[in-house]
Every structure is written in C-alpha cells, then in structure tokens.
Amino acid sequence: MNRPLRIEAAGDSHVGCQREHNEDSFAVDLGLGLFLVADGIGGAAGGEIASRMAVDIVQSSCREGAIEGPLPEDEDDEAASPLGLRLVSSIWRANERIFEEGQRDPRLYGMGTTFAGVHADAGSACIAHVGDSRVYRYRQRRLERLTEDHSLWNEHLHNGEQLPDDLDPLLARNVVTRALGMGKTVEVATRFERPQAGDLLLICSDGLSGPVPEPQIAEVLARGDDLAAAARSLIDLANQHGGPDNVTCVLVRWSAAV
C-alpha cells in the first residue's frame, strides 16, 4: 500500500548584481498547493507591476475557485481536473487584467510577464507556463526540464529552422514569444505529473536558468539541504555567475508522510 505524501516548499528572490529593481515576483501557498514565479518585462515600473499582478491574481482566483474561458470538454482529460481547470482559468484571468491595465495606462503600455506555476496536492501536480520561466524536476539524482521556453531561439530550434544570419543568438534566446499581457488572450502550456516520494520541483526565472548550467543546479539540489537553504544557495550561485538578471526560485518537495 502506498504511503500518503506530504508537500513542503520554500522560495526566495534577489535583485541580482546588475539590476537596480527586482521585477520578479513569486508565491508559496501551501494552503492552496500553489507555487508561482513571474518575471516581469516592459521596462520602468511595468515589469514589476505585471509580475506582481500575475502572482496576486492567479493566487486569489485559485482561492475563489472560479473557472471560466474555453476549457477542455473531455471529462477524462487530465486538463479537466480541478487543479488544471483552476490554474489555467486563473492564468487567463491574470493575462486579461494585465493587458487591460497596459492599455488603460500609457505609462504601462507594453508591460507583460513570463509565468511558471504549479498547482499541486499530495498525489498530482498541474504545471503551467508562458514564456521562459521554467519548471524542473529533480528525481533520483537526475534533473529534468519539464517546460519548453517560449522564445525566438527555441521556436526556430523546434521547427528545425536556422536563425537569420543577422540575428544575434543571445538576443534570440532572450526574446520571448509568449507572455502574460502581450494580448487579450494567451496560449498556456500545461503538463500533468504524478509525484513520487522524494520528487523535487524547481520553478525559476531565467535569472537562474540563464547563467547557471543545469549540472550545477543539480549539484545544489543533490545536497539535500532544507528547501529555504537550497533556494538561497541557488540564488548565491546565480550571483556568483555575475547575477546578470533578477533571480527567483521556488522549491516544492514531496515526501512520505510520517
């Protein structure tokens, strides 16, 4: 008989070494089983406002349990699970609100945010993301990326296309092709997992995944530190690599209940 699992989580954020303001936002809500990271874009105060709106609206909408929008019709589809319905519907609501605010206020025009989130309980997890914030799983000493970046670079790679000769590869990696607030609607990528005891999910902005190679991230997770200490270690590692961007990470671990 399988033993029940329990969830623990922690998160942290830092402005990095080269930025004046932190435009990342995150949430760790064990009561809701909700773990979120958003990385704002748009310059000035817009990015910070967009990321905070995304996290706050998704959190409050999941708390309310409101479900709206063109949701899956197949009742057997995992996307129609309560976790998936709540999370995706809440992201759509956040996208619409961010877009409308950017249209209403000229100072915020063009603001947006990447987003990666996990809505989980003891036996399942819905992963949803837009942009290049990522979700990784660390299982049995192996780190696996569970999301695909919505970036110009990754789209060309996925389609088997070469980048134009006049396009800087570094720029192509940093240009996102999807973000909350870019339009009135947004396509949200989802994935569903059945956690095992010992599984650890890392949700992070590209301030971590950009400068730090994945094997070094895995080395930190392999130490088995408490999650708050591991989050601080990952941020320290990003800053040791120059801290070129704001860096945020949230860690979620499943373990056998005592």
Which amino acid is located at 255 in the chain? S
Q: What is the four-CA torsion angle of 233, 239, 241, 246, rounded to 10 degrees?
A: 110
pLDDT at 74: 39
Residue 76: per-residue pLDDT = 40
Q: Could you state, in order of their start, the residue ranges of all structural domains in the chain?
A: 5-252
Question: Could you tell me if 36 and 203 are in contact, meaning their C-beta atoms sit under 8 angstroms apart?
Answer: yes
Q: How far apart are CA 40 and CA 114, in angstroms?
A: 6
Architecture of domain 5-252: 4-Layer Sandwich (3.60)
pTM to 2 decimals?
Answer: 0.91
pLDDT exceeds 90 at position 73: no
Cross-sheet strand order for the sheet of 189-193: 24-29, 34-41, 112-120, 125-130, 189-193
Residue 66 above 70 pLDDT?
no
67 pLDDT more than 90? no
Q: What angle do CA 142, 143, 149 make, to 5 degrees?
A: 155
- The winner for highest mean pLDDT among 34-48, 120-134, 161-175 is 120-134
Q: What is the rounded average pLDDT of the residues 228-246?
A: 97
For residues 131-135, give the mean pLDDT.
97
Give the whole-angstrom CA distance, residue 243 versus residue 17. 5
- Mind listing the pLDDT tens digit for each residue in 162-204? 555 555 555 545 688 999 999 999 999 999 999 999 999 999 9
